Amino acid sequence: MIVLMIYLVAGIVTGILSAWVGAGGGAIIIPLMLVVCKYQGMSNVIAIHLAVSTSLAFIMINAFYNAYKHYRHGHLVLTILKNALPMIFVGAILGTIISEFMPARAIEILFAVVLLVSLIKTFRLKKTHASEDIVMPSKGSCIFLGSTTGLLSSIVGIGGSSIVNPYMKHYHYPMKNCAAMAAATAFPTGLVATITMLVSSYHAAGIPAYSLGYLYLPAFCGLLVGSVIGTPIGIRIVKKCPEVVSLWLFRLILIYVIIDML
């Protein structure tokens, strides 16, 4: 029961943060699950696979809910999403296959490196721009965004905000658009990765009780219920919060997770 409550609270926090700044999916869930799974006596190899797989499954549902809420508020940039979407699926399929052959420690290191690069990019951004300064990226740029997001997200279990947010900020979009796009791009990644994971790990050895392959159901259910509570709160916050505060919150999340993983 205590473990379930931990995941419920984590789901609420994740729902708020993912709707607010687009982060809080894998960046919060994976380190938390690694700690809890190891506390429950699971090996490092099983723990990292459970964390990444459960994170991706949760991200799939949470991202769809987040994207829908942002769409209702007019935050989603449909042109970018349409151009990026096909390559997100391609990248996600390739990334899921690659992750099956990567050692657990290699996944952890790659996860930290992706977040570190993202953090550096946020500090290289110029000051906040007015809405009229927003630039629509080219189709080729959107395709690159889609393939990169799908590939890296499915390997390390993140939802894509660490890639999408700096990308959107480069084109002067406010954080509400960044969070919306992070959610929208995370759904196809989570969908492909979850289906592939369930099929490939269904008969995996050493998995704990209450698991479907590497999908750990106590964590998944607790996170999901919490997210339904937290997401509407995050939507309200991002509409009212100053842009600089939202950007610094995103940076602090990345800094914390990088330190924790290394």
List, for residues 120-153, the tens digit of each pLDDT value: 877 876 555 545 578 899 999 999 999 888 888 7
- pLDDT per position as a tens digit, 3-58: 889 999 999 998 898 888 877 667 778 888 899 988 888 888 889 888 888 887 88
The rounded mean pLDDT for the chain is: 84
Q: How many Cβ atoms sit within 10 Å of the Cβ of residue 140?
A: 9
**pTM for this prediction:** 0.74
6 Cβ contact partners less than 8 Å away, ≥ 6 residues apart: 32, 36, 222
Q: What confidence score (pLDDT) does residue 132 get? A: 54
Instruction: Determine which of 15-19, 115-119, 248-252 has the lowest per-residue pLDDT on average.
Output: 115-119
Instruction: Determine which of 34-43, 84-93, 105-114, 241-250 has the lowest per-residue pLDDT on average.
Output: 105-114
More confident residue, 259 or 66: 66
Question: What is the DSSP secondary-structure string of 13-24?
Answer: HHHHHHHHHS--
Cα(165)–Cα(159) distance, integer angstroms: 11
Please, which pLDDT band fits residue 79 given cuts at 50, 70 and 90?
very high
Extended strands (E) in the chain: 211-212, 215-216
Both tokens of 259, joined, read 């330190």
- pLDDT per position as a tens digit, 67-78: 998 899 899 999
Q: What percent of the chain has pLDDT over 70?
A: 92
Query: Is residue 262's pLDDT more than 80?
Result: no
Cα(167)–Cα(238) distance, integer angstroms: 18
More confident residue, 249 or 153: 249
More confident residue, 79 or 153: 79
Cα(4)–Cα(169) distance, integer angstroms: 36
- Phi, psi angle pair for 209, to nearest 5°: -65, 160
Q: What confidence score (pLDDT) does residue 104 get? A: 66
Mean pLDDT across 221-232: 92
Q: What confidence score (pLDDT) does residue 78 get? A: 93
Both tokens of 55, joined, read 């994170």
Q: Note whether 255 and 119 are within 8 A (CB).
A: yes
| Torsion angle of the four alpha carbons 46, 47, 51, 57, in this order, in degrees rounded to the nearest 10 | 30
Which has the closest alpha carbon to 29: 195, 165, 223?
223
Residues β-bridged to residue 216: 211
Q: What confidence score (pLDDT) does residue 126 get? A: 58
